[in-house]
Copies of this chain bind each other. A is one copy, B any other.
Amino acid sequence: MGVYIGIDPGLASVGYGIVKQEGSAICSLSYGVIETSSAEDQVGRLITIFNGISEQCRRYKPTIGGVETLYFAKNVTSALPVAQARGVILLALGLQGIEVREFTPNQIKATVLGSGKADKGQVQRMVQIILGLQDIPKPNHAADALAAAIACTGAVL
């Protein structure tokens, strides 16, 4: 029994998903994306992300937050703004006493699908089934965040 938040970090679009586990049942409490515009300045975007995540945490009071790790093969310049946003996300969780667990994308896929080899569509479909949602959760970032939240439950699915 517990409430968990999952987050798919980004700068333009941060996916979040909050799930509640009771016994073997897991349901979705909330999911979506926090969007920021490149027309906004960098600091304004970080504030939007911080406030958005903080608000979700205040409302649903998760005890554990699962946050995707970043992976950047080459382009360090494009990685830095996203890493800055991720720092703000970790801070938002930490300031509310939420325990942070970090998962690689493959770890998250393995949790919901039993294998790290899966495409986006399979993850979305499996998240839908696990949470008993009527529709496929969209956009992708929100589905990934729900998958990260499911990974927090530690449930063998």
Contact = CB atoms under 8 A, between A and B. Distances in A.
Given A43-B91, A74-B76, A76-B79, 7 more contacts: A43-B94, A43-B100, A46-B94, A70-B80, A85-B87, A87-B87, A88-B91
Tally of this chain's copies: 2
Contact of A43 (B47, B74, B84, B90): B90
A93 interface: yes
Interface string A38-78: 00011110110010000000000000000000101010100
A12 interface: no
Interface of A: 41-44, 46-47, 50, 70, 72, 74, 76, 79-81, 83-88, 90-91, 93-95, 100
A62 B155 CA distance: 49
